[in-house]
């Protein structure tokens, strides 16, 4: 508000004073219309955490939707476990690699891998659709 006077020295109404007064009246009316700020915040929080969401956390009215708070807790746990697993695998990657290689060198692994490959080829060949197979020979380049 300008100088706090409604009338300027030239006896005209001070527009800044009027604007400020109107803003204060409007703000006061809004606060009164809304009611207790604490109850407004509580209501907003309740509505947010109980809002039904889909598996991606987006608002949903589907029969399979769940409360936002349940979705958030589940997502937080999944993200935390995923991060922990990544960290464990990264920290132990050399040990895991050695163990994988060791297991892959066993006769049982080779037999299981061969059997799985053969079964997959047979199932694909017996399917109602046909698996295209192309064999191509190329001469090796002299280096």
**H or E stretch including 74?**
helix 68-91
Per-residue pLDDT, averaged over 16-39, amounts to 81
Domain boundaries, the chain: 1-34, 36-75, 92-130
Q: How would you label 71-106 residue by residue, b for 16+ Cβ within 10 Å and e otherwise?
A: beeeeeeeeeeeeeeeeeeeeeeeeeeeeeeeeeee
Residues 46-69: pLDDT tens digits?
Answer: 898 899 999 999 999 999 999 999
Residue with tokens 């295209």: 132
Residues 79-126: pLDDT tens digits?
Answer: 999 999 999 999 999 999 999 899 888 999 999 999 998 998 888 777
Per-residue pLDDT, averaged over 73-77, amounts to 93
């Amino acid at each position: 508000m300008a100088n706090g006077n409604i009338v300027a020295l030239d006896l005209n109404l001070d527009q800044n004073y009027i604007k400020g007064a109107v803003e204060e009246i409007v703000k006061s009316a809004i606060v009164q219309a809304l009611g207790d700020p604490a109850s407004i915040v509580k209501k907003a929080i309740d509505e947010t955490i109980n809002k039904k969401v889909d598996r991606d956390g987006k608002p949903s009215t589907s029969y399979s939707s769940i409360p936002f708070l349940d979705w958030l807790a589940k997502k937080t746990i999944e993200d935390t476990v995923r991060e922990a697993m990544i960290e464990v695998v990264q920290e132990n990657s050399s040990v895991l690699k050695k163990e994988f290689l060791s297991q892959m060198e066993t006769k049982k692994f080779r037999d299981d891998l061969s059997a799985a490959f053969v079964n997959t080829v047979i199932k694909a060949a017996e399917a109602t659709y046909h698996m295209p197979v192309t064999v191509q020979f190329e001469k090796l380049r002299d280096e």
